[in-house]
């Protein structure tokens, strides 16, 4: 069956997305991670755009990539110029990458209004740029910007653009839905009408403005595309690019097409989270395949089926993509869910007194405002306390926070903490802008000399919910914290009328969960 090349543009188009930014070191780390997964092409950026982009290409030239080819991105030469003396075409050659991609116009309106040149000169620009590059760079791809909109406007001209790319020797003609406004049926209709036998192989580059970028990409592949472009987590301009984290498993698990990346499919979830961590963006829980919720089930009728016959309630098994099944806990949880969760500590059944006392404890906690569905680490500590398998990390003697602000200078908080850990009296101090961070720093200051693992834990997300806002300032606050040791992540919860107290509970749960489970 046809082989599909996976082309990643996270480091170029992905970085056009809101909130997405990477340092040079991040870009290099991501490129190596993509290479480990056998992504076929990695678009590194536009070498002439700035210093950081240029240094990326300098650096990758010195590094070894096992599978992936790094691609430099640029556009066609200037109107009425020469490709051989165009500085940005020269930058593509100078980047020394095994492949380059050139973007050119397909939509007449863009040629006339944006390039401000005539449609014949546009074809000459495409021909010169690609044929010149082809004499210098091993593989050259042609991105047909606004292909689908251009085709709808004037199919004959769009076809001439495709033919020009073919005659100039491009290795693939990549059809772009730059504005993301095309639907899958239009992609199929337009692509199935192309005279593919007269053209170089096709690729697709879809944007998600209609929420159909993944569907459009698959439609394009079904119509003969051999290269699919997209980004990790679907990040990109406006609503994003086609999400490779969905396209890859769809190709591997749901079609007959071949892809190199199939061999490392089980590392896909980790890749998605790795890239999110580099961008300091909270991963989207509801993302297909790789999201935390993709294989999670809420208690009730379905959770019961999940325990008996999981394959009946999931379209694939999560471990194929490196994800895992989660059963969400709540007071609605059936006994069977709780027994299943406890089973890692021993054989418990519905008559075990530990099960009864855990259910009673869970109900009381939920009445107080705790919620364990998204705080399985705090729930694990409840189980350990119930079955007497809990090792406390510390005993608090007291903490003390002082916030101050002078004139127009930013506020500061100083925190001090006194505690007992393994029979020793210890203390710590920390300064930060806000009280929760000052407390976290003071606690780390106290514990780190005795527990090296504290250094590995970072707080990756902090969420606050006011439970009864009608109470005004006396309202209860629920805090959720997500922590990570860069391998695993876990969630904890705290509840109090005092936000610092609620945060303290969630932080302590996080450290104690790690201490009880993961450290050894
Ligand atoms: Zn794009």
pLDDT tens digits, residue range 155-171? 999 999 999 999 999 99
Residue 42 CA to ligand 1 centre (angstroms)? 14
C-alpha 241 – ligand 1 centre gap (Å): 6
> In the predicted model, what is the mean pLDDT of the chain?
93
Run of H or E residues at 92:
helix 87-94
* Nearest one of 481, 486, 49, 91 to 277, comparing CA atoms: 486
The protein residues having their C-beta less than 5 angstroms from ligand 1 (an ion) are 13
How far is ligand 1, taken at its centre, from the CA of residue 16, in Å? Answer: 9
Average pLDDT over residues 7-11: 98
- Residue 283 Cα to ligand 1 midpoint, Å, equals 21
- List the single range of 1-15, 54-68, 329-343 with lowest mean pLDDT: 329-343
In the prediction, which pLDDT does 136 show? 96
Q: In angstroms, what is the span from residue 207 Cα to ligand 1's centroid?
A: 6
Token pair, residue 45, equals 């950026």
* Spacing, Cα 72 to ligand 1 middle (Å): 14
Asked whether the predicted pLDDT for residue 419 surpasses 90, the reply is: yes
Q: In the chain, how many H helices and how many E strands?
A: 17, 16
Task: Give me the phi and psi of 305, to 5 degrees please.
Answer: -65, -40
| SS (HEC) of 303-329 | HHHHHHCHHHCCCCCHHHHCCCCEEEC
Q: Write down the pLDDT at residue 477.
A: 92
pLDDT of residue 300: 64
Which of left, alpha, beta for 466 (phi over 0: left; psi -120 to 50: alpha)?
A: beta
pTM: 0.79
CA of 363 to the centre of ligand 1 (A): 50
Where residue 303 falls among pLDDT bands split at 50, 70, 90? Answer: low
pLDDT for 311 equals 78
Cα–ligand 1 centroid distance for 221 (angstroms): 17
Q: How many CB atoms lie within 10 A of CB 11?
A: 26
Model confidence band, residue 371 (pLDDT cutoffs 50, 70, 90): confident
pLDDT of 333 higher than 80? no
> How many Å separate Cα 134 from the centre of its chain?
34
- Rounded to the nearest angstrom, the distance between the alpha carbon of 190 and the centre of ligand 1 is 19
Q: What is the pLDDT of residue 331?
A: 52
Distance (Å) from CA 229 to ligand 1 centroid: 9
What is the distance in A from the centroid of ligand 1 to the CA of 242? 9
Model pLDDT for residues 55-114, shown as the tens digit of each residue:
999 999 999 999 999 999 999 999 999 999 999 999 999 999 999 999 999 999 999 999
Q: Domains of the chain (ranges plus CATH)? A: 5-279 (3.20.20.70), 295-328 (no CATH), 395-518 (3.30.160.270)
For ligand 1, the distance from its centroid to the CA atom of residue 206, given in whole angstroms, is 7
Q: Using the predicted structure, report yes or no on whether residue 201 has a pLDDT greater than 70.
A: yes
Please tell me the distance between residue 60's alpha carbon and the centre of ligand 1 in angstroms: 23
Instruction: Please give the distance, rounded to the nearest whole angstrom, from the Cα atom of residue 195 to the centre of ligand 1.
Output: 24
| Share above pLDDT 70 across residues of the chain, in percent, rounded to a whole number | 97
What span, in angstroms and rounded, lies between the C-alpha atoms of 80 and 315?
Answer: 55
Distance (Å) from CA 65 to ligand 1 centroid = 25
Tokens for 281, please give them: 């963006």
CA distance 515 to 169: 60
Please write the tens of the pLDDT for every residue from 282-300: 889 899 999 989 998 876 6
**Residue 256: predicted pLDDT:** 97
């Amino acid at each position: 069956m046809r082989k599909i090349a996976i082309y990643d543009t996270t480091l170029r188009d992905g970085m056009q997305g809101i909130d997405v930014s990477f340092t040079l070191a991040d870009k290099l780390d991501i490129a190596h991670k993509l290479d480990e997964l056998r992504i076929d092409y990695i678009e590194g950026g536009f070498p002439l755009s700035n210093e950081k982009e240029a240094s990326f290409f300098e650096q990758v030239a010195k590094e070894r990539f096992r599978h992936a080819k790094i691609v430099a991105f640029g556009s066609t030469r200037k109107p009425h110029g020469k490709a051989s003396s165009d500085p940005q075409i020269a930058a593509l050659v100078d980047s020394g990458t095994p492949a380059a991609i050139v973007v050119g116009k397909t939509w007449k309106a863009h040629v006339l209004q944006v390039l401000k040149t005539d449609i014949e000169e546009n074809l000459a620009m495409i021909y010169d740029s690609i044929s010149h590059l082809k004499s210098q760079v091993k593989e050259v791809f042609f991105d047909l910007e606004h292909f689908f909109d251009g085709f709808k406007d004037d199919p004959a001209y769009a076809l001439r653009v495709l033919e020009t790319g073919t005659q100039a020797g491009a290795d693939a003609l990549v059809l772009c839905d730059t504005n993301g406004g095309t639907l899958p049926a239009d992609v199929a209709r337009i692509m199935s009408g192309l005279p593919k036998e007269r053209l170089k192989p096709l690729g697709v580059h879809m944007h998600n403005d209609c929420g159909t970028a993944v569907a459009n990409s698959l439609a394009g592949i079904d119509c003969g595309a051999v290269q699919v472009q997209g980004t990790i987590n679907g990040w990109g301009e406006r609503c994003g690019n086609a999400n490779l984290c969905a396209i890859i498993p769809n190709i591997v698990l749901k079609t007959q097409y071949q892809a190199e990346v199939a061999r490392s499919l089980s590392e896909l979830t980790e890749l998605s989270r790795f890239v999110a961590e580099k961008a300091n963006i909270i991963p989207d829980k509801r993302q297909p395949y790789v999201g935390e919720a993709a294989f999670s089930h809420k208690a009730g009728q379905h959770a019961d089926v999940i325990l008996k016959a999981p394959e009946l309630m999931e379209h694939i098994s999560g471990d194929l993509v490196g994800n895992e099944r989660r059963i969400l806990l709540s007071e609605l949880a059936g006994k069977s869910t709780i027994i299943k969760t406890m089973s890692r500590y021993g054989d418990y059944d519905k008559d075990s007194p530990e099960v009864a006392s855990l259910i009673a404890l869970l109900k009381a906690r939920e009445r107080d405002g705790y919620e364990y569905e998204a705080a399985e680490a705090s729930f694990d500590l409840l189980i350990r306390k119930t079955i007497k398998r809990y090792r406390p990390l510390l005993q608090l003697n007291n903490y003390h926070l002082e916030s101050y602000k002078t004139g127009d200078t930013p506020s500061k908080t100083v925190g001090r903490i006194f505690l007992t850990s393994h029979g020793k009296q210890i203390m710590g101090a920390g300064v930060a802008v806000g009280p929760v961070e000052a407390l976290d720093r003071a606690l780390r200051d106290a514990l780190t000399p005795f527990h090296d693992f504290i250094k590995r834990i970072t707080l990756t997300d902090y969420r606050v919910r006011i439970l009864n806002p009608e109470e005004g300032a006396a309202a209860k606050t629920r805090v959720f914290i997500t922590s990570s040791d860069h391998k695993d992540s876990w969630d904890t919860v705290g509840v109090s009328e005092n936000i610092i107290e609620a945060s303290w509970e969630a932080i302590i749960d996080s450290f104690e969960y790690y201490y009880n489970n993961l450290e050894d």
